[in-house]
Structure 1
Amino acid sequence: MPAMFAELSAALRQRDEAGLLRRRRELATPQGALVEVDGQPLVNFCSNDYLGLAAHPALIAAAQDGAARWGVGSGASHLVSGHFTVHEQFEQAFAALVGRPAALSFATGYLANLAVVTALVGRDDAVFADKLNHASLNDAVLLSRAEFKRFAHNDVAQLERLLAESTARRKLIVVDAVFSMDGDIAPLADMLALAERYDALLYVDDAHGFGVLGDGRGTLAELGLASPRLIQLATLGKAAGLGGAMVAAEPVLIDWLVNAARPYIYTTAAPPLLAQAGLASLRLITEGAGLRGTLRRHVAAFRGAMQACGAQLLDSATPIQPILVQDNQHALALSDALRERGYWVAAIRPPTVPTPRLRVCFSAAHSDEQVAGLCATLQELLRA
């Protein structure tokens, strides 16, 4: 038995004792508001399927048509023989939707973040990052070998001080648009102004804003922001109901990524059937005002109910609604109690977040009755 295995077993036991051990749960149904998890029917408040599109009949039909037309696998990277006509069509349609001149598709959002950051900055450069950024952005900066400057969450004044002090050749600000564990929106207008002042680019990871904010076009559209200095990432596995990611930016930047971004160059292209389904998803997002209205109604009902029972909420108007709790074990106990009562809500703990919490996520697929049932159950548990 390798000595490393004993060390790993001990480390796993320590995590378990600290309430930090991660386990997967198995879904026996498609993603949706009502799912079967480990054999138990549950109302799903864990998913990032904000518009309820992951199992939408139009997307299923488009994927089936795409498989029949293009096959299943792409067979190669985009630069060898894996770039299909439907990939090109999807990139152009996405760029048009978000109002940018060009876009590039990636197999995952994680790969997209690694690709953009490592292609744009290196040893003589600096990246300025919010301390609550997604782990993929942090990993991308470390991989780039650029100087890593982190500022306190949404602290624009500290960001400006760091930019003013920097003598880096290139400056790149990277930030989540909507923070995945807090649900709040970054002060992107102020950050863009600083990018203009200090000749930086602003890379916005809009994983949780695309499809939800700005009439579906994302957080930049919600805030009315446009500039050649902006780079927008949208992951497609959340509100779009698919998988993969898109990066939208100026044509010169997209061309550079095609030529220099290793996670793009050396990765097999996503299946073309996903691009076919993506075209259908963009149409549903464009026509999704009613879905977004349902989301806003659910969030308002939840926040009102939680404030009435004294729950510790964060300042979020998005479908991500965290409830902070005192420790890991309490978060796990609440999540288990909810599951026993038919509700699936994730307990999020360090190191993912600094403070343990329940992360409640809403979907347009939820009914008002399902939301009311969750609120009543949470009120009961929190008051107890």
Structure 2
Amino acid sequence: MALVDANLAQWEGKGWRCPVCRRATRARDGLLSLPNNPLIVAAVQALCAGGPHARASESGWRKDKSGAPYYDFWSGSGGRIKVWTASDDNGAAWSDVASYSALSIDVAITLLSALACDSLRASTCAPRRDAVWLGGSAVMYAKHYKRYGAERLEFAQSVDVEIERLLRLRFDVLSYPGFDPVSRTWKRDGITRFGVSLFDLDEDQPPVANDTCAGAMPLRLGAWADHWLNASGPMWVGSLPDALLKLDHRSSRGADVLAKKLGLLLTLSWGASRNKKHQDFEIRSLLRRLGELRSPGGIDAHYGGRLADRFEEAMLRLSEAGLFQHHLHAVDAQARRAEGRQWFEEWLGAKLTVQRPSFLTRVEQI
């Protein structure tokens, strides 16, 4: 209890929401800026595929010849991004993977948005790799976390643990199309780079401002920003509704977690398809990319029904929030389900049509 009181005193003395956190995570018209490039998509899908059932996922984390976990993300042109974790041993690496959760995703997205926001970064910066002091307060501010006292301190400490895990995340970029900062040209045949981190701790350790919140650390974007967030070449930064961060990250809160994952994946997908009025997705493909589809040996008799109910409830929540209007073409599968016949495979093959989100339209009108 004395330790909790001491930590609370430290946080209250330094402040829960310093000016940097407020500026970095302030949403404009309910929208945050989010880097949108292949490595970010790979990171999001790898985090979604983690968790206690990571090994049972149909298309998720696998182990290499040494037993270490890795996640593969492929491009249509044959490029590959291999995701792994720089832990002390294989056991610790698998422990990291099993610990990934919706909170891990919230922390990663908040920090990415904060480091890419224009209020802290000149638009001509090439690349955007300046360090910013960020920590648990930024995440709580972005999520509109309203609890205080010991419970707030406990949540801040949980966020710090997630940041430590994210700092161990690594990416091997193998022949993936990207910008080459040396030749200052776009490499269609791909760039190759090993051991790229999502975030780096700034080795120069910039001085701490007096009003920096407790627990903050000097974070900057990893070396991937040289290739996909460089003002000398293409810079892809999309809009992210902060309503997705406000969705509950706890697995006990119904379909909120799946709605968060679906909303984030759909947002990233629309980044490359802004001119389309709608997009069609196969349910099987969406669930596989989110790590929600289990391999045949890891399911029980009620798995299909629970997953379908949770998916449809998640899409309903996104629709009610005004984010993604959709139409599910699964009438035949639903009829077969009502009759007690085999329906799950047909439902997985059904098409989901998603209308162009309204927040993209609002951005164009600003």
Both structures adopt the same fold (TM-score exceeding 0.5): no
TM tier, smaller = under 0.3
* TM value normalised by structure 1: 0.25
Higher share of residues assigned strand: 2
